[in-house]
Amino acid sequence: MTHYIIFGPPGAGKGTQAELMVKKYNLLHISTGELLRAEIKKGTELGIMAKALIDAGNLVPDEVVVAMIKHKFTSNPDVSGFILDGFPRTTAQAATLDELLGEMGKKVDKVISIIVSDATVRDRIRHRAQIEDRKDDIDDEVIATRIRNYHQKTEPLIDFYKAQNKYFEINGEGSVEKIFEEVCTLIDNN
Ligand code: ADP
């Protein structure tokens, strides 16, 4: 059982690369962003709470996303591994993830970090807004809040995983195919 984290700022292309990894390596893709958007679509209580935070560019509480991840782990015992996309996003989430996996006798194997500049992030998010119906992708101020939250709350995870020797970087400014080649090289070279 292999556990990868696909890491990077909003709009780095994590979801795109995760989908390609799923096809090639028979892994289960767990995207907390997608799980939250599904709750919003269903109009659940959790969805209504999450929507207000997401639309403002803020993170949802750690307990909420941790509960979603826990559920995914326990309800999919037969896959050969997981790709976590958009989780963990805070050091508290990362510490809880280590505990959760530890209880199951498992661990995070590699963190694949897609590096893109803030300017690229803004361009890509604006472009995505024209294709997908995501309110959090439209407003410049909301995008700025998301980028700020990434730097303040999520970027510290880089040191967290470096300290565990699990952190690997890829330049995310090239084509989808070229980036995926680099992802595969990272995965295939243990
Ligand atoms: P992006 O990759 O563009 O940031 P996501 O689809 O991963 O988009 O997430 C969309 C939003 O969902 C985030 O801006 C945040 O509000 C919320 N979210 C997703 N994952 C988490 C998480 N692990 N912790 C807290 N909030 C999260």
d(CA 34, CA 19): 13
pTM, entire model: 0.93
pLDDT at 166: 97
pLDDT digits (tens, 9 = 90+) for 85-120: 999 999 999 999 999 999 988 999 999 999 999 999
Ranges of residues in the chain whose predicted pLDDT is under 70 = 190
What sign does the CA torsion over 88, 90, 94, 99 have?
Answer: negative
Distance 66 CA to ligand 1 centre (A): 13
d(CA 140, CA 125): 10
Which residues have C-beta atoms less than 6 Å from ligand 1? 10-11, 14, 32-33, 36, 53-54, 58-60, 65, 86-87, 89, 93, 136, 146
Ligand 1 centroid – CA 11 distance (Å):
11
Task: Report pLDDT for 146.
Answer: 94
Quick one: tokens of 183?
Answer: 């992802």
Radius of gyration for the chain, computed over Cα atoms and rounded to the nearest angstrom: 16
- Among the listed residues 117, 108, 45, the one whose alpha carbon sits nearest the alpha carbon of residue 82: 108
User: 146, 113, 111, 110: which is closest to 128 by C-alpha?
Assistant: 146
Per-residue confidence (pLDDT) for residue 91, from 0 to 100: 97
Under 8 Å CB-to-CB from 75, ≥6 apart: which residues? Answer: none
Task: Using the mean position of ligand 1's atoms as its centre, give its distance from the Cα of residue 6 in Å.
Answer: 13
Predicted local confidence at residue 189, as pLDDT: 87
Evaluate whether 57 touches 153 at the Cβ level (below 8 Å).
Answer: no
Active-site residue, selected from the candidate residues 37, 72, 89, 110: 89
Q: How many CA atoms lie within 13 A of 114 on its CB side?
A: 31
Q: What pLDDT is attached to residue 180?
A: 97
Task: Say what the pLDDT of residue 62 is.
Answer: 97
User: H or E stretch including 101?
Assistant: helix 91-103
d(CA 145, CA 9): 12
Tell me which of 19, 49, 62, 89 to substitute to probe ligand 1's pocket, judged by most ligand atoms within 8 Å of the beta carbon.
89
Active site residue 128: yes
Write down the pLDDT at residue 104. 86
Angstrom distance (rounded) from CA 109 to CA 40: 31
